[in-house]
């Protein structure tokens, strides 16, 4: 009787073990099927449309005047970059860059009408929807803000041309570029005395810092800089020389000052918010040296008419 009892217990344990193995095998099989299902590669289509499209992004709305520190009704004009990364039968993936802000988007491509409807995530007040048409290498259409009350110009038009990003250490600012920093204006109270009447009036004068011609000659992507090269430069000179390194690698500048300088060129194409890993050893050394000098450099201000 005792032997029979032990046998029954052993049989029960074996049965439980068998059930457990069957359950685990079933679970693994199920997981395997899920993995297999999830790993199915969705075929890409229209790879010829992949790439960067850059151009004007403008609309009527409230525009900020950096001099008066006030908003006025006018045309809000910016540059925009749209990058199409992937297109499948059901989805389009990519990113937009405006004012140095990089936002992902997802949408659809309507083949018959050659149009894209692309939505940014919606978790930022500046997000919206692009409704644009593709024709050859150009994109035209509109962008509408999801939160119209949060954006100064909630409806903007786009006119973009396809461009190819290329890193070239020889890229420089054109010598006809405007080299005045209009974003960091200094204001001061000054007096003017009329020679005829002898009457003295007080007025507000504005001065802006400006760069020298050194920015058209010194290239921190191509030449090894020394302290001698930098010691007589203005602060803005060194900021431009340094940031030209990042501009050549497609850095998306958030500071309007730097965007303004490099958007005057036809080679600057913003592609990323972080290009530190792309810098060459020479560029890294030069940037480090420039940072040391920028810390103690002085600005040169003058009065300009706009």
Of residues 239 and 42, the one with the higher pLDDT is 239
Total domains in the chain come to: 2
Q: Give kind and range of the element (H or E) at residue 174.
A: none
Q: Is the pLDDT of residue 199 over 90?
A: no
Q: Are 181 and 206 in contact (CB under 8 A)?
A: no
Same domain for 198 and 253? Answer: yes
**pLDDT tens for residues 114-173?**
999 999 999 999 999 999 999 999 999 999 999 999 888 999 999 999 999 999 999 999
Asked whether residue 274 is domain-assigned, the answer is: yes
Mean pLDDT of 229-240: 95
Same domain for 56 and 128? Answer: yes
Tell me the residue range of the domain where 114 lies.
47-163
pLDDT in the model for residue 259: 95
pLDDT in the model for residue 251: 97
Same domain for 138 and 233? Answer: no
3-state secondary structure 45-77: CCHHHCEEEEEEEEEEEEEEECCCCEEEEEEEE
Q: Is the pLDDT of residue 57 over 90?
A: yes
Asked whether residue 41 is domain-assigned, the answer is: no
Q: Is the pLDDT of residue 281 over 90?
A: yes
DSSP 79: E
Of residues 14 and 111, the one with the higher pLDDT is 111
Same domain for 157 and 192? Answer: no
The vertex-235 CA angle with 230 and 237, nearest 5°, equals 70
Decide which of 109, 128, 163 is a domain's last residue. Answer: 163
Which tokens sit at 206? 């504005």
Decide which of 99, 129, 163 is a domain's last residue. Answer: 163
pLDDT in the model for residue 304: 66
Q: How confident is the model at residue 22 (pLDDT cuts 50, 70, 90)?
A: low
Asked whether residue 152 is domain-assigned, the answer is: yes
Q: Is the pLDDT of residue 299 over 90?
A: no
pLDDT in the model for residue 192: 79
Same domain for 147 and 240? Answer: no
pLDDT in the model for residue 306: 45
pLDDT in the model for residue 42: 85
Asked whether residue 32 is domain-assigned, the answer is: no
Same domain for 53 and 125? Answer: yes
The vertex-86 CA angle with 93 and 52, nearest 5°, equals 85
pLDDT in the model for residue 195: 77
Q: Is the pLDDT of residue 16 over 50?
A: no
pLDDT in the model for residue 302: 82
Percent of the chain, pLDDT > 90? Answer: 67
pLDDT in the model for residue 35: 41
Same domain for 138 and 210? Answer: no
Q: Is the pLDDT of residue 11 over 90?
A: no
**CATH classification at residue 99:** 2.40.128.120
Percent of the chain, pLDDT > 70? Answer: 85
Q: Is the pLDDT of residue 28 over 80?
A: no
pLDDT in the model for residue 95: 97
- Residue 259: exposure state from Cβ atoms within 10 A (0-12, 13-18, ≥19): buried
pLDDT in the model for residue 34: 41
Mean pLDDT of 48-54: 97
Of residues 244 and 193, the one with the higher pLDDT is 244
Decide which of 129, 163, 197 is a domain's last residue. Answer: 163
Mean pLDDT of 95-121: 96
pLDDT in the model for residue 18: 52
Same domain for 137 and 214? Answer: no
Same domain for 125 and 206? Answer: no
pLDDT in the model for residue 67: 65
Asked whether residue 18 is domain-assigned, the answer is: no
Q: How confident is the model at residue 10 (pLDDT cuts 50, 70, 90)?
A: very low
Nearest Cα to 302, choosing from 236, 253, 214, 244?
236
Same domain for 113 and 201? Answer: no
Mean pLDDT of 296-306: 76
The rounded mean pLDDT for the chain is: 87
Asked whether residue 20 is domain-assigned, the answer is: no
Q: Are 301 and 186 in contact (CB under 8 A)?
A: yes
pLDDT in the model for residue 107: 97
Same domain for 146 and 206? Answer: no
Asked whether residue 56 is domain-assigned, the answer is: yes
Same domain for 284 and 218? Answer: yes
């Amino acid at each position: 009787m005792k032997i029979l009892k032990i046998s029954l217990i052993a049989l029960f344990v074996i049965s439980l073990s068998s059930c457990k193995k069957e359950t685990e095998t079933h679970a693994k099989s199920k997981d395997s099927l899920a993995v297999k299902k999830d790993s199915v590669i969705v075929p890409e289509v229209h790879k010829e449309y992949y790439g960067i499209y850059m151009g004007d992004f403008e609309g009527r709305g409230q525009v900020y005047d950096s001099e008066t520190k006030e908003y006025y009704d006018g045309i809000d004009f910016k540059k925009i970059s749209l990058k199409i990364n992937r297109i499948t039968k059901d989805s389009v993936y990519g990113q937009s860059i405006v004012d140095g802000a990089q936002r992902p988007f997802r949408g659809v491509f309507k083949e018959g009408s050659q149009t894209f409807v692309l939505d940014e995530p919606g978790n930022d007040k500046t997000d919206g929807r692009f409704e644009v048409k593709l024709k050859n290498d150009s994109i035209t259409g509109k962008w509408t803000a999801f939160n119209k009350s949060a954006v100064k110009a909630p409806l903007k038009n786009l006119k973009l041309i396809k461009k190819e990003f290329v890193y070239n250490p020889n890229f420089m600012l054109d010598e006809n570029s405007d080299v005045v920093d209009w974003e960091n204006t200094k204001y001061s109270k000054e007096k003017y005395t009329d020679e005829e009447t002898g009457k003295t009036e007080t007025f507000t004068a504005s001065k802006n810092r400006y760069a020298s011609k050194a920015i058209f000659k010194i290239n921190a992507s191509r030449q090894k800089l020394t302290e001698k090269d930098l010691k007589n430069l203005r602060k803005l000179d060194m900021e431009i020389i340094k940031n030209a390194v990042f501009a050549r690698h497609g850095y998306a500048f958030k500071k309007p000052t730097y965007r303004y300088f490099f958007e005057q060129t036809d080679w600057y194409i913003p592609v990323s918010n972080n290009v530190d890993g792309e810098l060459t050893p020479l560029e890294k050394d030069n940037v480090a040296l420039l940072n040391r000098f920028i810390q103690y450099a002085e600005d040169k201000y003058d009065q300009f008419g706009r």
